[in-house]
Amino acid sequence: MKDFNENKKIILLIIIVPLLLVGQYFMFSKGIITPLVKGVEIKIIGGNYIKDLDKYIIKLGDEVEISAGNYVKIPGYAKDPELWFNVLDDTGIAEIKGNKMTALKEGYTSVAVMKKTRVLKKAMIKIVNPDVESLDLDLSDSLKYVGDKATITSSVAISNYKKFTDTYKTKYLSSNESVLKIEGDNVEAVGVGSATISGKCGGKTVEIPLEIEAKVIKLEVPNEFVLEEGQSATIKAKITTSPKGLKAPNVEYNYSTKKKKDERAAYVSEKGEISAVREGTEKVIVSCGEKKATVKITVKKRSIKNSSIKNVNYSYNIEEGKVKIEISWDSLDGIKSYEVYAKKYDDEGYEVLKSIPQSEEKEGKVNTTIEIESSNEEETEGENKEKTLEIYMVGVGENESTKPSEKIIIKY
């Protein structure tokens, strides 16, 4: 009987032990029973950080990925335990979502690896915000003409924790996107005008002001102007840009040689306006963008036919039925005589009233007096009607005459 009971116990053990082992495996593998965890560490495996002796240093605003390290679970076949990460204070310095930690404020905080409510491992975190001491911008290529392209580069220097230097990203902005268009760190000149590239990083701002103009591919101007003294003209430049139709750069006009002002044959304004002053020649360099052209100006002595009588002065009075007029004007070279033309209110055309020889000139002036009947015999007595008298002068040379002077109009 005793042997029977012993055998029974052995049989029960043979049955129960495997069942216990199977049950244990089942419960560990399904996570019903959590395993023993050893060797847990807090590690940062993603993002930018500095590993100090007893803490991690993270830059303000950065996000890093944290890990529990290569821990050991016992038994090995057990389901991985549900470990989670937690901030151990309520300072709001850092925030954890899943295994991502975001640095929100400067300061110290503690984070931990948790198993349910139990702290398995904790670590100190320091969040810093190093000041940007200097910021420099540079362009890979020149930006001068529409169509030019370049890459913007920046150089940042920070006050401390130099390892974070590469994490500082400069943001580039254009003050006028119709002139400079920026995408990332690439910039293109797309229009004519002024614009500024601004680089901003860590409270520092650096600017690169630029003037963009159209590239001039062709500049056309007249080769020569032939003018007489006193005449004027304008140099009109025809400019072709690339791309076509853009506003061209300002045109500049410069003399090819240096002279005193009173030695110039002609003056040229900043708008290309020519004033011929004396016999001689001038050469003017016309430039626009990188294109240049030369214009020759030849000034000849003024011909009589292109001259006119200037500085006409007069006075008049009516005496004894006559209009008595005193007239003076500047004399001209090359004139043999001056003819005075007049038309009364009742005349159909002008007639020569007087011819004055050049010999009557005195000190550069010609003076004369003319008299005209103020009324006709046919007018009825007492008739009071306003009358008009028109007068002008012409200088007569050897083979040609001057232009008529301005008219003198007398009403009486």
Q: pLDDT per residue over 103-138, tens digit each?
A: 999 999 999 999 889 999 999 999 999 999 999 999
Classify burial at 180, counting beta carbons within 10 Å of its beta carbon; exposed 0-12, middle 13-18, buried 19 or more.
buried
* pLDDT number for residue 111: 95
pTM of structure: 0.63
**127 neighbors 105 (Cβ within 8 angstroms):** yes
**CB-based contacts of 36, cutoff 8 Å, min separation 6:** 73, 74
Residue 364: the pLDDT is 85
pLDDT per residue over 255-277, tens digit each? 999 999 889 999 999 999 999 99
pLDDT tens-digit map of 171-216: 999 999 999 999 999 999 999 999 999 999 988 999 999 999 999 9
Residue that has been written with the tokens 């306006």 in this structure: 273
Query: What is the predicted pLDDT for the residue at 378?
Result: 53
Residues in the chain, overall count = 412
Amino acid at 270: E
Question: In the predicted model, is pLDDT for residue 29 greater than 70?
Answer: no
Q: CA–CA distance from 123 to each of 43, 54, 275 (Å)?
A: 9, 8, 87
Q: Where residue 36 falls among pLDDT bands split at 50, 70, 90?
A: confident
Give the class (CATH, top level) of 132-213: mainly beta
CATH topology of domain 305-411: Immunoglobulin-like (2.60.40)
Distance CA 253, CA 267 (A): 11
Please give the mean pLDDT across all residues of the chain: 89
Task: Say which residue, 212 or 2, is predicted with more confidence.
Answer: 212
pLDDT of residue 5: 65
- In the prediction, which pLDDT does 30 show? 65
Phi, psi of 22 (to 5 degrees): -65, -40
Look at residues 407, 233, 403, 227 and name the one whose alpha carbon lies nearest to residue 304: 403
- Read off the amino acid at residue 92: G
Decide yes or no: CATH 2.60.40.1380 for domain 36-128: yes
Q: What is the pLDDT of residue 21?
A: 60
Third-level CATH fold of 217-302: Immunoglobulin-like (2.60.40)
From the list 343, 339, 344, the residue with the least C-alpha distance to 356 is 339
Domain locations in the chain? 36-128, 132-213, 217-302, 305-411
Measured between alpha carbons, how far is residue 239 from residues 17, 144, 189 in Å?
102, 18, 20
User: Confidence band (pLDDT; 50, 70, 90) for 76?
Assistant: confident
3-state helix, strand, coil in the chain (%, to 5): 10, 50, 40
CA distance 321 to 325: 13
- Of 2-6, 29-33, 242-246, 313-317, the one with minimum mean pLDDT is 2-6
The residues with which 107 forms a beta bridge, in sequence order, are: 127
Cα 329 to Cα 3, 7, 62, 359, 408: the distances in Å are 164, 158, 90, 14, 12
Q: Do domains 217-302 and 305-411 have the same CATH topology?
A: yes
Lowest mean pLDDT among 4-8, 33-37, 346-350, 364-368: 4-8
